[in-house]
Amino acid sequence: MPVSRDIYRAISASFPTGILIVATLDENHAPKGLLSQAYIGLSTDPPLMLISIDRTSRTLPALQKRRAFVINFLREGAEDLATLFASKSDDKFRGVRWQPSPEADGSPILREVSVAYAACRVSESREAGDHWIFIASVEAGEVLGGTPLMYYRRTYAAWSAERPAPPVEGVS
Ligand SMILES: Cc1cc2nc3c(=O)[nH]c(=O)nc-3n(C[C@H](O)[C@H](O)[C@H](O)COP(=O)(O)O)c2cc1C
């Protein structure tokens, strides 16, 4: 018999992660997005990334329609934005500066709050339990630098300054 929801959640909460905002455009070209931690760097060659979106997400229909999105990996200082994008607000992008990604069909790049971003086009999607999985080809992206924002047991915190992250190899 599978474990209970509570145990499943407690096990999952034992895993600290970076966090990201998945951003896309809806059919009226309005920006939509949500906070996520379910990310996999799936394949290097070809470059593929995987995200997992709850079927109750209000961003989900836009993702399914546009089949393109930007993964914005958040950096230190973006705690309030993370909280906003984890909410059901209709107006998450109000006052947020973003640029459209040509490679991801205009999906928002949140350059000022991200350590890196990846502009993606969906190659495969399927339902899995109460989520939808999207596998996407990485068409463009950039490492912007800074200290990543992490999530653990309902708390946001910057990557520990006691062990500063080394630079990314091969990227200037
Ligand atoms: C740290 C954290 C990680 C989350 N990860 C995901 C995720 O991977 N997939 C998902 O669908 N929702 C995730 N959520 C929940 C969504 O951010 C939340 O349900 C949000 O309200 C969805 O917004 P939307 O309905 O406007 O799309 C996460 C929330 C938090 C706080």
Mean pLDDT over 43-50 rounds to 98
Q: What is the pLDDT of residue 160?
A: 81
For residue 33, pLDDT over 70 is answered with yes
68-74 and 99-100 beta bridge pairing: unpaired
Q: Which residue has its alpha carbon closest to ligand 1 atom 20? A: 86
Mean pLDDT over 126-151 rounds to 97
Under the banding of pLDDT at 50, 70 and 90, the label for residue 152 is: very high
Cβ atoms of 72 and 109 within 8 Å: the answer is yes
Q: What is the mean pLDDT of the chain?
A: 95
What residues are paired with 156 via a beta bridge?
151
Query: What's the whole-model pTM score?
Result: 0.95
Under the banding of pLDDT at 50, 70 and 90, the label for residue 170 is: low
170: alpha, beta or left, given left = phi > 0 and alpha = psi -120 to 50? left
Is the CB of residue 50 below 6 angstroms from any atom belonging to ligand 1?
Answer: no
Determine how many CB atoms are found less than 10 A away from the CB of residue 38: 15
Query: Which residue among 32, 57, 131, 153 is best mutated to probe the pocket of ligand 1, counting the most ligand atoms within 8 A of its Cβ?
Result: 57
Is the CB of residue 93 below 6 angstroms from any atom belonging to ligand 1?
Answer: no
Query: Which residue among 26, 35, 149 is best mutated to probe the pocket of ligand 1, counting the most ligand atoms within 8 A of its Cβ?
Result: 35
Is the CB of residue 17 below 6 angstroms from any atom belonging to ligand 1?
Answer: no
State in Å: Cα 87 to ligand 1 middle.
Answer: 8
Mean pLDDT over 114-121 rounds to 98
Under the banding of pLDDT at 50, 70 and 90, the label for residue 163 is: low
Pinpoint the alpha helices (H) of 55-157. 60-66, 79-85
Residue 83: strand, helix, or coil: helix
Q: Which residue has its alpha carbon closest to ligand 1 atom 14? A: 36
The domains found in the chain, sorted by start residue, are 5-158 (2.30.110.10)
Q: What is the pLDDT of residue 169?
A: 72
Pick the more confident residue, 161 or 17.
Answer: 17
As given in the structure block, the two tokens for residue 1 are 């018999």
Under the banding of pLDDT at 50, 70 and 90, the label for residue 168 is: confident
Nearest to 111 by CA among 98, 122, 126: 98
Residue 7: strand, helix, or coil: helix
Mean pLDDT over 71-87 rounds to 98
